[in-house]
Amino acid sequence: SRILSVTAQNDMKWRDAISGPDQDQVRAAYEKERLSLLKSILTLVPETDPNYVEKRKKSITGRWLLSVKRSGEYKCRGVKQGFKEDKATADGPDFNYSSHVTKFSTVRASTLRPNRFNRRIAIKDVSTALSFLQSRPYENGLRKYLLMRDPY
């Protein structure tokens, strides 16, 4: 358990990872996430788009996060820096940012109850959590723009 926690790395430096010994795995993780996002919820805006400058001004910045999972596999996630966005105009006054998560009392109750040695507790990793990325489609005509620097 201790070895796994030490070897798992989060928000790694791209410069080091790109030039490191696992650069092929890093590139594969990046391409997998990028293609997944482009296939599902993002549309690439080329510089030749007539409204490119306007769209770029309206964009919110994002980042590519790189980490090593406990299994040793590289994982990349593209994330929007939502704290830079004006939430009232972006999502409207009735938008709910809260999500239900497990409470600590529930974890305690399930792990400390009698006969707990006859059960197994596991964690399931979701490859692409699209339902969490955008669970409610935007209204007709609403577009948001995301500006992310390609680490390569």
pLDDT digits over 31-83, tens only?
999 998 898 888 999 999 999 999 999 999 999 999 998 788 999 999 888 88
Backbone dihedral region for residue 140 (phi beyond 0: left; psi -120 to 50: alpha; all else: beta) = beta
For strands 146-147 and 74-80, give the pairing.
unpaired
Compute the average pLDDT of residues 5-28: 85
Q: pTM value? A: 0.70
Share of the chain above pLDDT 70, in %: 76
